[in-house]
Amino acid sequence: MSAPAYRRLSVEQRRTQLIEAALGLFAHQLPEDVSLDGVAAAAGVSRPLVYRYFPGGKQQLYEAALRSAADELERCFDEPHEGPLVERLGRALSRYLRFVDEHDTGFMALLQGGSVVETSRTHAIVDEVRRTAAEQILAHLGAPEPGARLRLMVRTWISAVEGASLIWLDEDKQPPVEGLHDWLLDHFVSLLTITAAGDPETAAIARRALAREEADGRVAGLVRRLLPVVADGAHLLAPPEG
Amino acid sequence: MSAPAYRRLSVEQRRTQLIEAALGLFAHQLPEDVSLDGVAAAAGVSRPLVYRYFPGGKQQLYEAALRSAADELERCFDEPHEGPLVERLGRALSRYLRFVDEHDTGFMALLQGGSVVETSRTHAIVDEVRRTAAEQILAHLGAPEPGARLRLMVRTWISAVEGASLIWLDEDKQPPVEGLHDWLLDHFVSLLTITAAGDPETAAIARRALAREEADGRVAGLVRRLLPVVADGAHLLAPPEG
């Protein structure tokens, strides 16, 4: 047993230390491969001490580690409501993708399902993270009580970010994370735009967001990169024949 | 017991009849609420007969029903490789959303996870459906061996369609299914476009696809609806100051 075991920690500090050790193991190993001995070794404490804090054993430690991860994810979108919208979202997305990168195996095991430690409680925690992210993005959009299409748009983007993160892990983290980040932000801008094309509420929000963007900003960069692509579609602007 | 029990069916016909009865129940009830008695009643046969065909009981019937559903879903993208790309995708998407609409509870239970009947085998079947859909879409795009960004784009769209379908069911099927269908197609066009803006392989495909679109087609309609939205962004085309 290593030295840290003998440090005097308060109950809360000890609990936090054990959860962090567990989170570190669950991040890169499948839940079924994590043992309480492993958690005790990683924290530099005895197995009985782990059981004293988590009498429910691995399942209880897993849920506590997941709770801690969920709290971290929910802080991702906690951004001041000022400046260009897409910059704010970009900072939140960076934090989210850093989490995905640092907890790769655990993130996949949790979201792909089928793990032995999944319960209705773990599902409820994951759903809560999604719901909180949607509420925070809608607050940034200035739409605390959105209509069906705007809500569908925001929730679908969150689902696409989650899906793209899993796919990115499955594709050995290709393209590089910066490329994934910028593409997911472009994805948000394009989803906002096509939704605005059919929904007046979203159109008003897109107009407000666009007005705050600057000529050297991220959206302007996207617009310039899009011009050569859409130039080939000029024939679609001709009025239909007949 | 009702009359159909006494119809003479071949082994294969009987098996198909039982799977269809099971699929009908799993479509609108949670797996834990479906009983073999219920399946026997829905098929108009005795419980021992169900057990004779499915000695593994409910779990085996569930997996057979899922296999049958997966085969139906995999046929969704089975489309002739001719005509505008977005029209082909639109027909495939209609079939997919009809399936979602007709199997609402079963679709949610399966994809949201946490159900008692989930196993590594049921996960493998769901993954196979996703993989087949990606391969079929990439074949329609004329890219059987895609690079990382194009593959990420197609897989992310499939994941977004799945996510949006779950959200749509959770939001009591709002907006109406036609609106969801058209929005998901617009979503595909916009994802293809922003990916093309940063990836030469996707740009070549987008150019080919765009050339086949017609002035009275779906993409042209989207372009016309987008014009008023992007008109507000004219200030982004000015060269950056300084």
- Which domains are present in chain B? 8-75 (1.10.357.10), 80-227 (1.10.357.10)
Is ipTM > 0.85 here? yes
Using a CB-CB distance cutoff of 8 angstroms, which residues of chain A are in contact with residue B100? Answer: none
Q: Mutation test of the interface with chain A: which of B138, B156, B168, choosing the one with the most A Cβ atoms within 10 A? A: B156
Averaged over A42-51, what is the pLDDT? 95
Give the closest residue to A169 by CA, choosing from A21, A27, A19, A66: A27
A5 pLDDT exceeds 70?
Answer: no
**In this structure, what DSSP letter does residue A233 have?**
T
The pLDDT score that the predictor gives to residue A228 is: 83
Q: How many CB atoms lie within 10 A of CB A1?
A: 10
Per-residue pLDDT averaged across B142-158, rounded?
Answer: 95
Please choose, from the candidates B157, B194, B89, the residue with its C-alpha nearest in 3D space to the C-alpha of residue A229: B194
To 10 degrees, what angle do helices A36-43 and A57-75 make? 60
Contacts of A233 in chain B (CB under 8 A): 210, 213, 219, 223
With beta carbons under 8 A apart, name residues in chain B contacting A186. Answer: 194, 197-198
- CB within 8 Å of A61: residues ≥ 6 apart: A18, A19, A22, A36, A39, A50, A54
User: Among A122, A161, A190, A191, which would you mutate to test the B interface (most chain B Cβ atoms within 10 Å of its Cβ)?
Assistant: A190
Q: How many CB atoms lie under 10 A from the CB of residue B70? A: 16
- Nearest alpha-carbon partner for A18 in A54, A55, A43: A43
Rounded to whole angstroms, how far apart are CA atoms B74 and B52? 29
Q: A25-29, B129-133, B211-215: which range is least confident on average?
A: B211-215
Q: Which of B3-7, B70-74, B91-95 shows the lowest per-residue confidence on average (mean pLDDT)?
A: B3-7
Q: Residue B240: its pLDDT value, please?
A: 52
Which residues 1-60 on chain A approach chain B with CB closer than 8 angstroms? none
Average pLDDT rounded to a whole number, residues A125-140: 94
Mutate to test the interface with B, among A232, A235, A241 (most CBs of B within 10 A): A232
Query: Cβ of A194 and B211 within 8 Å?
Result: no
Confidence of residue A239 (pLDDT cuts 50, 70, 90): low
Task: List, for residues B29-55, the tens digit of each pLDDT value.
Answer: 999 899 999 999 999 999 999 999 999
- Percent of chain A topping pLDDT 70: 94
pLDDT at residue A242 in the model: 46
Model confidence band, residue B238 (pLDDT cutoffs 50, 70, 90):
low
**Per-residue pLDDT tens digits for A186-208:** 999 999 999 999 999 999 999 98
**Torsion B234-B196-A94-A154 (CA) sign:** positive
Q: For chain B, what percentages of helix, strand and coil (3-state, to nearest 5) are there?
A: 75, 0, 25
Point out the residue among A159, A171, A216 whose CB comes nearest to the CB of B148: A171
Contact (Cβ atoms closer than 8 angstroms) between residue B178 and residue A198:
no
Q: Which among A193, A209, A190 is positioned nearest to A83, based on CA atoms?
A: A209
Using the predicted structure, report yes or no on whether residue B168 has a pLDDT greater than 90. Answer: yes
> What is the percentage of chain B residues whose pLDDT exceeds 90?
69
B202 to chain A, any CB pair closer than 8 A? The answer is no
Q: Which two tokens stand for residue B96?
A: 């997919």
What residues of chain A lie within 8 A of the CB of B154, using their CB? none
For position B93, what pLDDT does the model report? 96
Residue range B193-215: mean pLDDT, rounded: 91
- Nearest-neighbour CA in chain A from B40: distance (Å): 29
Give me the mean pLDDT over the B143-164 stretch.
95
Task: Give the residue-averaged pLDDT of A15-39.
Answer: 93
Give pLDDT, residue B242: 46
Residue A40 scores a pLDDT above 80: yes
Name which of A63, A116, A96, A235 is nearest A164 in CA terms: A96
User: What confidence tier does B1 reach under pLDDT thresholds 50, 70, 90?
Assistant: very low
**Among residues of chain A, what percentage have pLDDT more than 90?**
69
Q: Name the DSSP letter for residue B158.
A: H
- Cα Rg for chain B, rounded, in angstroms? 22
Rounded mean pLDDT of chain B? Answer: 90
- pLDDT category at B167 given cuts 50, 70, 90 is very high
pLDDT of residue B115: 73
Q: What is the pLDDT of residues B101-110, one digit of tens each?
A: 999 998 988 8
Q: Are B133 and B161 in contact (CB under 8 A)?
A: no
